Chains A and B, each alone.
Chain A
């Protein structure tokens, strides 16, 4: 499977990729994007099987990315990896069509719990 990791922080993209590997998902192809706008382009060009997106990014935020994808008819499985998981944000994410939020800081166990059903 192909996973798109969108985060404006290089180090956080690297941590997400490393944690995917530690969680046992090392065989999946990873594509990265540094903001929501580039993530949108890469969803269209790379056709990933899962998007793991930060919320707070320049150019296009994570929730704007999700809304843009769904408005364009794209139904790629989408989850947020964000430093804040308030009830308000969870409600917004679910209303927008996201699967769930993973809060930073996370561990490999968190990734296994949340992603095993999707990534196998």
Chain B
């Protein structure tokens, strides 16, 4: 646990998000995806996060609307959006945060451990004592996905393991 909030890290969130979307979400005709999109303060309903504990303490959070979360789950599970269940959304959005977080953690001070992902309503999520280090917005299928790296806070409560 620490109150020493470090923001002096170099993380290219734009590039990491583009790699993840390109590998897992973009199909052959996905030219409309915009990386490092303008941050228009889009409303988000769900937040998926992983916590980092150790030499770097913080969280990687990806937030989006309910519709956006169903779109992600439908592509990752290869099913129609109206067939997607809440469990599917939780698994898919959590894994998106896990992959983004794992890649971010790789360029942060080590050693540190990554928690299992957690998905909940944005309105219920708080990360006390944190500051946002950087963020990027991906605009995919007309929906905004906000990816944020937070530093500091009590990140040890998320069942952290080495990732």
What residues make up the interface of A, taking CB atoms closer than 8 Å to B? 8-12, 14-15, 18, 55-56, 58, 61, 63, 82-86, 88-89, 103-107
Is the beta-carbon distance between A84 and B163 smaller than 8 angstroms? yes
Task: Name the 3 nearest CB pairs between A and B, nearest first.
Answer: A83-B102, A105-B23, A84-B102
Q: Which of A56, A85, A103 contacts B161 (CB 8 A)?
A: A56
Q: Which of B78, B98, B101, B110 contacts A9 (CB 8 A)?
A: B98
Name the CB-closest residue of B to A61.
B161
Is the beta-carbon distance between A11 and B162 smaller than 8 angstroms? no
What residues make up the interface of B, taking CB atoms closer than 8 Å to A? 19-20, 22-24, 73, 76-78, 88, 91-92, 94-95, 98-99, 101-103, 105-106, 110-111, 114, 116, 159, 161-163
Is the beta-carbon distance between A83 and B99 smaller than 8 angstroms? yes
Is the beta-carbon distance between A9 and B91 smaller than 8 angstroms? yes
Q: Beyond A18-B78, A56-B116, A105-B19, is A9–B106 a contact (Cβ under 8 Å)?
A: no
Name the CB-closest residue of B to A58.
B116
Is the beta-carbon distance between B106 and A86 smaller than 8 angstroms? yes
- Tell me which residues across on chain B come within 8 A of A18, comparing CB atoms: 78
Q: What is the CA–CA distance of A88 and B114 in the complex, to the nearest angstrom?
A: 14
Q: What is the CA–CA distance of A10 and B161 in the complex, to the nearest angstrom?
A: 19
Is the beta-carbon distance between B24 and A82 smaller than 8 angstroms? no
Q: What is the CA–CA distance of A15 and B91 in the complex, to the nearest angstrom?
A: 12
Q: What is the CA–CA distance of A98 and B19 in the complex, to the nearest angstrom?
A: 25
Is the beta-carbon distance between B91 and A10 smaller than 8 angstroms? yes
- Tell me which residues across on chain A come within 8 A of B19, comparing CB atoms: 105
A-B contacts, 11 of them at CB < 8 A, read: A18-B78, A56-B98, A56-B161, A58-B159, A84-B103, A88-B110, A104-B23, A104-B99, A105-B20, A105-B24, A106-B23
